[in-house]
Amino acid sequence: MPPRRDRASRYTADRGIPGAFEGETVTRRRFMTGTAHAMSGIATAAFTLPALGFALGPVFADIEHSWQDIAAAIDVADDTYVPLVATITPGMGDAGKTTVYLRAHNEAIDGPRVDEYDEFIAVSTRCTHLGCPVRFVEASERFVCPCHGGVYDFRGGRTGGPPVRPLDRFYTRVRGGRVELGPRFSVNSELERFSPRDPGQDLDGVGQYLFPARPTARKIEGT
Amino acid sequence: MAVIGPLSRSKPSVSERGTEAGVTVVDWIDERTSLSGGGRWLMFRKVPKGTNWFYTLGSATMFAFLSQAVTGVFLAMFYEPSAISAYESVRHITNDVFMGEFVRAMHKWGSTMMFVLVFLHMGRTFFFGAYKYPRELNWVVGVVLLVLTILMSFTGYLLPFDQRSYWATIVGVNVNGTGPLIGPYLADFLRAGPEFGATTLARFYSIHMLLVPGLLAALIGAHLYLVARLGTTAPPWQRAEADPELRKQET
C-alpha cells in the first residue's frame, strides 16, 4: 500500500505539496477550480434568475382597483338579478369579459347595509367549484353551474353540489346615479368579506389559512 | 498470372460510384466522430428470447412524439398566440391553408394517440416486471415523461382558444389552485396573474412549444440511453434454460 498522506494538517507545506507557501491552506489548483466553478455558477444565475423573475413577476404585480360604470341605479330591482357584462381583463376582447348579476340591497333578505359598498349586490358568475360560469334561474331563484352541478341560493350561498363557498361578489358604489363595479371579493358561508380567492378554495374554518390571499389583491381596507 | 477481364477494367457504373461516394462520406464522418461504434452499441443489442410486439410500444410512443414535434413546428408557422387572433388563426389553418386541416388533425389526434401509447407502454413495463432492479431509474424517468406528456396535453388544449379550450383551462388552472398553501401561487403562475389574461395564452404557448418539448426530448434521450445500457427484460412467461451439463451435475 502506498503511504497515506497526512490529511490532518491544514497547511499545504505539511502535506508535502511542491511549491507550497508557508501558511498556505488552499492549493493554487484547488483555488483555480473553485474560482472557475463559482464564476460559472454566477454566470448561470445571471441569466436564470432574471428569467425566473420574469416568469414569476406577474404573480406579485400590484393590481389597481378600478371602478367601471355598469348600470343606472334606477334600473336595478331588489328582488331579482339583472345580468350585465363587465370587463375583468382589459385588452383581450371578449375573453376578458364576464357576466355579473346585479341587484339592489334588500333589507328583508340581506339585513341592514354595512357600508357604502353595500347599496347594490353584484354576484360573480364564476362558480366557486372550478370556475365555470353559473347562470341565474329566475323560476327557482337559484344560481346553477353547468359543469358539475353546483347550486347556489338567491344570495349566492351554496345549497348543493361540489362548490366550497358562496359565489364571489364585487364591490359596488353609486356615483351620480350610476352603479360602479369595483374589485372582486370572496365570502365565507356567513357572507363575511374576504380578500379574493380562486375557485375551489374553502374559506370556512382553516380554509383562509390553507389558501392564503395574494398579497397584491386585497379586499378594501376596513370592509 | 490471372488476366483481368475487360468487364472489371471498364469504368465503374453509376451505382458503384454512388456507393463509393456514400462510403467515403460515411467514413469521413466516422473517422472524425466515431459515431458508428455508438450506433452499433445502440442498434445491435442482444435481446432476450421471447421479445415480442409489446416491446415496440416504447418506440411507438417515441414516434408519436416525433409526429407531434414535426406537425407542431409546421402548425406554429401559421398560429398566432394572441387572445385576439388565436381563434382566427386556427380557423385559418383549418379552412384556408393547404393541408392545414390534415396537419392540425394529425396533431390533435396524435396527442391522444401518444397518450394512449404512453399508458400501454407503461402497462407493458409494469406487467412484465420490467421496472425492477436494475431498471428502477428508467421507471422514474418514464414517470417524469408521463407527467410532461400530461403537461403537454394541458397546455396544448388552450391553444385553439375556442369556448371548450377556454373553460377547460379555467377549470384546469383552478384545480391547481385547490392545492393547500402553494396552490394559489401555482394558479397565479399558470395564469400570469389573478385573472385569465392576455399573457396566459402566450405563457401556455411557450410552455407547450419550448419548455416541455425540450425537457421531453432530453429525457427521451436519457430513457433510451438507459434501455441500451441495461438491455430489455424477457417476458415473465419465459423460463430460463439451465445448462444440460449443470442439470446432470445436480441430479
3-state secondary structure labels for all residues of B216-233: HHHHHHHHHHHHHHHCCC
- The cell for B127 is 406487467
Instruction: Write down the mean pLDDT value for chain A.
Output: 91
pLDDT in tens, A21-47: 888 888 888 999 999 999 999 999 999
Q: Measure CB to CB from residue B194 to each of A92, A130, A196 and give the nearest one.
A: A196
pLDDT band at B10 (very low <50, low <70, confident <90, very high): confident
Q: Measure CB to CB from residue A212 to each of B84, B184, B199 and give the nearest one.
A: B184
pLDDT in tens, B37-71: 999 999 999 999 899 999 999 999 999 999 999 99
What is the spatial distance between Cα A80 and Cα B202, in angstroms, rounded to a whole number? 40
Q: What is the largest CA-CA distance in chain B?
A: 92
Q: Write down the pLDDT at residue B80.
A: 95
Q: What is the pTM of this model?
A: 0.86
Complex-level ipTM: 0.83
What average pLDDT does range B150-161 have in this prediction? Answer: 96
Which residue of chain B comes nearest to A56, CA vs CA?
B189
Q: Do A63 and B194 touch (CB under 8 A)?
A: yes
Residue B168 in contact with partner chain A when CB distance is under 8 A: no
Q: Write down the pLDDT at residue B9.
A: 60
pLDDT in tens, B74-132: 999 999 999 889 999 999 999 999 999 999 999 999 999 999 999 999 999 999 999 99
| CATH code linked to domain B52-160+209-232 | 1.20.810.10
- The A residues from 134 to 163 touching B (CB cutoff 8 Å) are 147
Å between B176 CA and nearest CA of chain A: 9
Q: Write down the pLDDT at residue B251.
A: 61
Residue B182 in contact with partner chain A when CB distance is under 8 A: no
Residue A131 in contact with partner chain B when CB distance is under 8 A: yes
Q: Write down the pLDDT at residue B152.
A: 97
> Is A117's pLDDT higher than 60?
yes
> Is B3's pLDDT higher than 70?
no
Residue B163 in contact with partner chain A when CB distance is under 8 A: no
- Nearest 5°: the CA angle A31, A34, A37 is 150
Q: How many CB atoms lie within 10 A of CB B114?
A: 22
Which residue of chain B comes nearest to A130, CA vs CA?
B171
Buried b (16+ CB within 10 A) or exposed e, B37-51: eeeeeeeeeeeeeee
Q: Write down the pLDDT at residue A218.
A: 84
- Ranges of H-type helices in A13-74: 28-60
Which residue type does B250 have?
Answer: E
Residue A86 in contact with partner chain B when CB distance is under 8 A: no
Q: Measured between beta carbons, which residues in chain A are less than 8 angstroms from residue B193?
A: 58-59, 61, 63
Q: Measure CB to CB from residue B195 to each of A89, A130, A200 and give the nearest one.
A: A89
- For chain B, what are the domain ranges? 52-160+209-232
Residue B193 in contact with partner chain A when CB distance is under 8 A: yes
What is the spatial distance between Cα A139 and Cα A135, in angstroms, rounded to a whole number? 12
Size of interface A-B (CB pairs under 8 A): 83
- The A residues from 88 to 127 touching B (CB cutoff 8 Å) are 88-89, 91-93, 95-96
Q: Write down the pLDDT at residue A184.
A: 93
> Tell me, what DSSP letter sits at residue A206?
T
